[in-house]
Structure formats: structure tokens, C-alpha cells
Amino acid sequence: MQASKTKKEYAARLLMQQQAAFACPICRQGMAADAGGLTCLRGHRFDLSKAGTICLLRDYGRHLAAGYDAQLFDSRRWVFAHGYFDALIQAVMRWLPQDGLALDLGCGEGSPAAAWAAGRPALRIAGVDISATGIKKAASAARENTCFIQGDLAALPFADGCADAVLNILSPARYREFARVMKRGALLIKAAPTPRHLRQIRRALDKTYADEADVRARFCQAFALVDETRLEYTLPVADAEAAQHLMRMTPLAENAPSEMTFSDKDITFSMNIYIGRAVG
């Protein structure tokens, strides 16, 4: 599946299999899928790109900034490829259904979605991110059971009650929208940083994190808490290349000088994983 045409065909097939899950971002009507994209009942048309991505933004993305730059997504892919997030991937995997439709909301460049898709070949995963750059990079590693959509987490292009699971991994949340698209009994799987997450980088940048309690409180207000787990581990930083990618993969360093790095020989990952069901 190296050719762009093949990836577009895979994406088109997934859209056609799941067309009832989509809602037009302009008028909220249902959508019909074909080999070239999606068309709503009122005629709004959204085309698949050659890479197999689709923009489902109300303004077709014309007035929206691209978001994070390519370097962040390239570094994030490098960090995932070198195993730094393997423990997180596996911790989330155990909660995923075997089949159905999962939405990875705030998917970035798609590394986690690709790993979960490999582990759950009968599960269809739609990754959504507002960044055109991230979605384009995600499509470069797309699998047969994935598609990647440029969309707004605050106005998801999905029908009510369509998702068997929702993932929100180290990304901002829009809980009302998440609950709207979840089936009865579906799980929301959220990973949020603790104050110790990337503490070596935070120290180098003089940045702290104090929102842990607020994140938990807002999650528990919106969803019935099924489970919560603290996942924390420390891994070695092999060399200067690893340190540079670790620094550049996080928005913490967004405004830092490009040459800035950190000198620690290890790096700490610390996250709370919350599992919730929609209430009401």
C-alpha cells in the first residue's frame, strides 16, 4: 500500500463502510460516500485527497491555520517509532473494542492510531485533527482499517451515537461533543499528563503544570468514571538526536530556540489514563 492511489482506495472503502457515521460539518445532514469522497443530502461535497485524507471542516479549511509545524510531527513520529510511548500504546489497547468504529480525536501525525489499528485489525479507526500538516503525515502511514480526517473537535463531522470508542490522548478535550458521538455503553479513553510528565524538558524550559486536578474533575463531571490508572516510567535518552526529537515533539518547546535541548540522560513519562462512559 505504498502508492497514493492505494491509500485513497483504502480510505474510500472505509468511508463507504462507515458512511452512516458521518454528518456534514456545514448542515449536519447525513452523508453518502463514494470512491472520491463524501456528499451530504444537501449537496455539500468533500473530496478525498490523493493521499487518502479528507477535510471535513465547515469552511473546507480555507480560513484555518495549519496548526503545529511539520518538525513537531516528524519528531513525534520518531519518538513513537523508537518506543518511548510503547507503554501508553499498550495501556490504551486493552480498553479498545475488537471491532466497530473508534475515533482518535486529536490524532496528530497518526502514530498511535497506526499502532492500535495493527493490534485491532477488525476495528476501524478514524483519526481526527485540526492540523492539515498532521493529517497529511498520518496518511503516509495509514493502514487498511484507518482513515484520517481534518476536522474540528468542537464540531465533529460525525452523527450522534456512531462511535464504539473515543480516544483522546494527550490532546485537548471537547467532552460535550465526545459524548454526543458515542454509542450507549461506549468508552472514552483519555490520557492526560501529570506534573512529572517530561519533567526534564519542563525544567529546561522553566515550565510547570498544575492542571491535573482540574482535568480529572472535568472528566468526572462529563463521564461516569470506570477506571483510572497512573502510568509513569523513565527511559534513557540515547544521544543528542534523541534529546532533540524529545524536545521538539512537544508543544512545550513551541516558542523555544530551535537549537535548544536538554542535557539529562533520561526522560520521564507520566500520565493519568481515565476511562469513562457517557452519563444520561
Tell me: the pLDDT tens digits for 95-119? 999 999 999 999 999 999 999 999 9
Tell me, yes or no, whether 214 lies in a domain: yes
Q: Which residues contact 214 (CB under 8 A, 6 or more apart)?
A: none
Tell me, yes or no, whether 22 lies in a domain: no
Tell me, yes or no, whether 212 lies in a domain: yes
H helix or E strand, kind and range, residue 47: strand 45-47
Tell whether pTM > 0.75: yes
Range of the domain at 178: 52-278
CA dist., res. 177 & res. 260, Å (int): 37
CATH number (domain holding residue 75): 3.40.50.150
Total domains, the chain: 1
Pair 250, 71: CB distance under 8 Å: no
Q: Indicate the pairing of strand 37-40 with strand 100-105.
A: unpaired
Tell me, yes or no, whether 23 lies in a domain: no
Query: pLDDT (tens digit, 9 = 90+) per residue, 34-88?
Result: 999 999 999 999 999 999 999 999 887 665 545 578 999 999 999 999 999 999 9
Pair 91, 229: CB distance under 8 Å: yes
Q: What is the percentage of the chain residues whose pLDDT exceeds 70? A: 95
- Reading the block at residue 269, the C-alpha cell is 513519562
Tell me, yes or no, whether 9 lies in a domain: no
CA nearest 166: which of 106, 104, 78? 104
Tell me, yes or no, whether 230 lies in a domain: yes
**At 3, is the pLDDT very low, low, confident or very high (cuts 50, 70, 90)?**
very low
